[in-house]
Amino acid sequence: MKICILSEKPSVAREIANVVGASHKEDGFLHGNGYMVTWAFGHLVQLAMPEEYGFTGFVRENLPIIPEVFKLVPRQVKEGKEYKADASALKQLKIIKHAFDSCDRIIVATDSGREGCLIFRYIYSHLNCHKPFDRLWISSLTEKSIKDGLQNLKPGSDYDNLYFAAKARSEADWLCGINSSQSLSIAAGRGVFSLGRVQTPTLAMICKRFLENRHFVSTPFWQIRIQTDKTGVSFAAISREKYDNKDAANKVFSLLQQQKTLHVQSVEKKEVHQEPPLLYCLTTLQKEANSKHGFSADKTLSIAQKLYESKFITYPRTGSRYISADVFDEIPELLNSLKTHPRFGSYAESMDSAVLNIRCVNNEKITDHHALLITENTPNGLSGDEQTVYEMIAGRMLEAFSKKCVKDATTILLANGDTVFDAKGSIIKQAGWRTVFGEQEETGEDETGNLPEVIKGETLPVIQSELLEKQTKPKPLHTEATLLGAMESAGKEVENEAEREAMKESGIGTPATRAAIIETLFSRDYIRREKKSLLPTEKGLLVYETVKSKRIADVAMTGNWENALAQIERGEMQPETFSKAIEVYTRQITTELLETKIVVANENTCLCPKCKSAQVRFYPKVAKCTDANCGLVIFRNISEKQLSDGQITDLLTKGKTGVIKGFKSKAGKTFNAELKLNENYRVTYDFPDKLAGKGKK
């Protein structure tokens, strides 16, 4: 019997060919020992573009375009304004067809996941092949893993639901992307705008956070910090109450300076056990690589994929942070392999394989693949960035199977009259998993180490006291780390409580696709990076302002679609049910977007006071600098008061406005104030002395 093995990439094909003895190399495949091993280059076959169905150009009357049956074509590339078949795809498809025709049976060795199944099935369908096929489902490319996988091949039909989910996702993205993009472009009357089922809600998350941040008006509040002492051990405490009125804070502060004593109201001591972190899934690896090392999500995925193909780590595109009981049996051997590692060797040597932490062992919480692990192969020749990602995965594996971190935490409440102060401290008794990287726990600004022994009712002196003026702060701009987290748990971004509860386990996109979605937003010139922060461009904000209230930008809706795809994958929903719902959704978003009007700037402009080179344009809701790198934005609506062009002009040219009447506080009270630009070019309130005086009468 002659067997054809189809992998997703040439590098994977070579590893499999070495195991099965297919050592003779030809153009596009390897053969020998009864095997032909060939490969795809990712998606060689795709859904046909609208032109294949007779729809040329962007024509209102053609929309929505909903094919009765989707056509498959070789991968397309754009040449000028037309799409043509990719020559390299045509060549490799011809080789794969020859391999299929020459064999009696096929082994599918594309990546073991939703997209890997789709890559094979689209090729299989396009070539009109009917040969029987089995599935090689492995989590690493080591010789042992490949041999075990070949001994335990699964019938291809076992993965039908995975394919149905992938096909439904592919067709849904086509319907939503093609129709929404054409609809908005037609409505605009000029330019081409790109929208998508996951892309647009992701853009909405970035823009919404950016606007909240820029629109945020900081308000002052005061706290009192005291320094006290017991038997020569000095420690600090801070008032529980945050005063939004300086006079009230001053009153308490003055009383404290007069009395200079504190009474111990209560002392609470407890032993705190901190479990080690779970193993990495792809998203958590990408989040931490971004926050700790500044790597983009796409860069982290590319490095992890290379480490996987080099047989140093297991399959990276996993959404699970757990391993099964049978994989746990292999962990002691993997930990032993780290005993010679220059960074982790001594710690690995100290671990007792008989008492490993089993928190991340859970058969029921594994999806397609278990969490990321290293393999038994010792890495060599890694670049600096590859070494960083490998050590993240190896170190996390050591942490996950280590002992808990145990500490003694103490909270002391001190009172002066009705004012209560918090003093918090902790000491580590057993560092446990924190020893791996020497990682310190983040503590509050006034938290200390060991606190002295005090008892309830005891009197302590006030050594020093100070009145601290602080400012409320907006939520920080999204980084790739926080955006990946928001995509992973999209339900948290939903404001409606009932919807948020229903979406508790939802995300948008998948671990394998989220990096590509973010990169798409960059390629569309919708977002840009400023250090680690993600900011929308002027074009991105224009698209967001246009579609933010439309279904295409609905995070909850997109999260629900992801839930539905997961149900198809589990066999709990028929693909046809999902497809019909997507068709209805497509008609709705098409109608909405065709009726949309693109908001443009009026003729008013001012020289930007921040960059002092570009112009500030005036829009119905904002005034913003035309230089995307500057980032100056003035919002018209502040505390329910709509600013006029004249007032914004005063802010930009004079740095402040005159007195504006009728602002509303969060409590619903009206107040008058001037507005001014602070040193960071943020809008703040200014209360002249005469206004403050009037307020006291």
What would the pLDDT profile of 330-345 be if each residue is shown by its tens digit?
999 999 999 999 999 9
Domains 3-152 and 282-400 share a fold: no
Cα 343 from Cα 347, distance rounded (Å): 9
Mean pLDDT of the chain: 90
pLDDT at 446: 61
**The architecture CATH gives domain 3-152:** 3-Layer(aba) Sandwich (3.40)
What would the pLDDT profile of 382-392 be if each residue is shown by its tens digit?
999 999 999 99
Q: Are 78 and 282 in contact (CB under 8 A)?
A: no
Quick one: average pLDDT of 299-303? 96
With bands split at pLDDT 50, 70 and 90, how would you rate the model's confidence at 549?
very high
Cα 375 from Cα 146, distance rounded (Å): 13
Cis amide leading into 64 (omega within 30): yes
Which of 297-311, 407-421, 599-613, 652-666 comes out lowest in average pLDDT? 599-613
Q: Are 230 and 460 in contact (CB under 8 A)?
A: yes
Q: Is the pLDDT of residue 367 over 80?
A: no
pLDDT at 695: 40
| Cα torsion through 165, 167, 173, 179, rounded to 10 | -130
Fold for 168-215+478-594, please state it: Topoisomerase I; domain 2 (1.10.460)
What does each C-alpha distance from 194 to 170, 185, 509 come to in angstroms?
Answer: 17, 8, 17
CATH number of 282-400: 1.10.290.10
Residue 476 DSSP symbol: P
Structure token digits, residue 409: 């935490």
**Distance linking the first and last C-alpha atoms of the chain:** 98
pLDDT at 495: 61
pLDDT at 599: 58
Cα 691 from Cα 582, distance rounded (Å): 57
With bands split at pLDDT 50, 70 and 90, how would you rate the model's confidence at 505?
low
What would the pLDDT profile of 262-290 be if each residue is shown by its tens digit?
999 999 999 999 999 999 999 999 999 99
Q: Is the pLDDT of residue 309 over 80?
A: yes
Strands 633-635 and 622-625: antiparallel
Q: State pTM to two decimals.
A: 0.80
315 is catalytic: yes
Structure token digits, residue 457: 């009712």
With bands split at pLDDT 50, 70 and 90, how would you rate the model's confidence at 353?
confident
Specify the higher pLDDT residue, 598 or 181: 181
Q: Is the pLDDT of residue 127 over 80?
A: yes
Quick one: average pLDDT of 101-121? 94
Q: Is the pLDDT of residue 690 over 80?
A: no
Cα 470 from Cα 460, distance rounded (Å): 27
pLDDT at 603: 55
Cα 389 from Cα 280, distance rounded (Å): 11
β-strand partners of 411: 268, 424
3-state secondary structure (DSSP) of residue 271: strand
Q: How many CB atoms lie within 10 A of CB 21?
A: 14
String of DSSP letters for 113-181: SHHHHHHHHHHHHHTT----EEE---S--SHHHHHHHHHT-EEGGGGHHHHHHHHHHHHHHHHHHHHHH
pLDDT at 694: 45
pLDDT at 538: 85
What does each C-alpha distance from 437 to 287, 343, 377, 440, 662 come to in angstroms?
Answer: 17, 9, 22, 9, 55
Q: How many CB atoms lie within 10 A of CB 444?
A: 9
Which ranges of 443-574 does DSSP label H, i.e. alpha helix?
Answer: 480-488, 497-502, 514-523, 538-547, 555-569
With bands split at pLDDT 50, 70 and 90, how would you rate the model's confidence at 400?
very high
What would the pLDDT profile of 471-503 be if each residue is shown by its tens digit?
999 999 999 999 999 998 875 666 656 555 545
Cα 11 from Cα 17, distance rounded (Å): 10
pLDDT at 560: 86
Cα 166 from Cα 410, distance rounded (Å): 52
Give domain limits for the chain.
Answer: 3-152, 168-215+478-594, 220-273+406-431+446-471, 282-400, 605-696
3-state secondary structure (DSSP) of residue 335: helix
Of the residues 280, 315, 619, 681, only one is catalytic, namely 315
Q: Is the pLDDT of residue 113 over 70?
A: yes
What does each C-alpha distance from 270 to 4, 267, 412, 413, 426 come to in angstroms?
Answer: 63, 10, 12, 15, 10
Please identify which residue in the block is written with the tokens 């490319």: 141
Specify the higher pLDDT residue, 3 or 692: 3
Quick one: average pLDDT of 439-464? 81
Q: Which of the following CATH numbers is that of domain 220-273+406-431+446-471: 2.40.30.10, 2.40.50.140, 1.10.1740.10, 2.70.20.10? A: 2.70.20.10
Quick one: average pLDDT of 539-545? 91
3-state secondary structure (DSSP) of residue 409: strand
pLDDT at 696: 37
Q: Is the pLDDT of residue 80 over 80?
A: no
